[in-house]
């Protein structure tokens, strides 16, 4: 049997392309994103949990299980890399940070996860993604100390620790009444 060149992407075994980049909003469906200012001294990487800081309109890196969750940090493809020689791309202190709270986004799994698992934010990060606020799932353990449920979020892929996977997040929100 002759080998086809170039090898088509439709060959047996599926596509050979990654599903996207960390923090990339995907699936061509409507999503909701809000913008906050990183008021913390620690930079926020793409595809991790952003939590509320003390002032309105501010966010920071997750530091405690009790932090109020805002959503998942979205990649800005036009954001320039740092000039420190490391070519780091993230949201430094006082940067405007887009945060997805409704839609589908690509993240790097902090641990092995299964499709359909609830999404858990790992306060101190995991082996596949050591960033604070990286995501794992119920396959890796139950919610508890250091493992916080992300309401309305579910894994759409089964992936190994350190691999890219999709999370669907749908926040219903809270409502206050006067009665």
Cα(40)–Cα(160) distance, integer angstroms: 31
Residue 1 has pLDDT above 50, yes or no: no
Is residue 111 within 8 A of residue 134, CB to CB? The reply is no
CA distance 166 to 47: 10
Topology of the domain comprising 32-170: Virus Head Decoration Protein; Chain: A, (2.40.300)
Report the distance separating Cα 62 and Cα 124, nearest Å: 8
Question: What's the full length of the chain, in residues?
Answer: 179
Q: Is the pLDDT of residue 167 over 90?
A: yes
Name the DSSP letter for residue 25: B
Taking alpha carbons only, the member of 170, 40, 48 closest to residue 92 is 40
The pLDDT confidence band at residue 53, using thresholds 50, 70 and 90, is very high
Looking at residue 36, its pLDDT comes to 97
Q: What is the DSSP letter of 12?
A: T
- Please determine, for residue 67, whether its predicted confidence score (pLDDT) is greater than 50: yes
The pLDDT tens digits of the residues spanning 21-49 come to 889 998 778 899 999 999 999 999 999 99
**CA-wise closest residue to 116 among 165, 164, 156:** 156
Report whether pLDDT(175) > 60.
no
Token representation of residue 92: 């430094």
Give this prediction's pTM.
0.84
pLDDT tens per residue across span 90-135 = 999 999 999 999 999 999 999 999 999 999 999 998 888 889 999 9
121 and 49 Cβ atoms separated by less than 8 Å: yes
**Ranges of each domain in the chain:** 32-170
177 vs 55, residue with greater confidence: 55
């Amino acid at each position: 049997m002759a080998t086809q060149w170039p090898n088509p992407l439709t060959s047996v075994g599926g596509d050979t392309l990654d599903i996207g980049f960390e923090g990339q909003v995907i699936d061509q469906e409507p999503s909701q994103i809000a913008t906050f200012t990183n008021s913390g001294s620690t930079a926020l990487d793409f595809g991790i949990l952003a939590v509320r800081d003390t002032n309105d309109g501010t966010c920071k890196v997750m530091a405690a299980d009790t932090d109020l969750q805002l959503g998942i940090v979205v990649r800005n493809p036009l954001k320039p890399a740092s000039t420190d020689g490391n070519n780091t791309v993230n949201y430094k202190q006082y940067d405007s940070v887009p945060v997805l709270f409704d839609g589908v986004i690509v993240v790097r799994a902090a641990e092995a996860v299964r499709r359909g698992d609830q999404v858990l934010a790992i306060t101190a990060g995991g082996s596949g993604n050591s960033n604070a606020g990286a995501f794992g799932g119920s396959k890796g353990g139950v919610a508890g100390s250091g493992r916080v449920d992300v309401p309305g979020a579910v894994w759409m892929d089964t992936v190994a620790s350190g691999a890219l996977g999709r999370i669907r997040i749908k926040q219903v929100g809270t409502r206050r009444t006067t009665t």
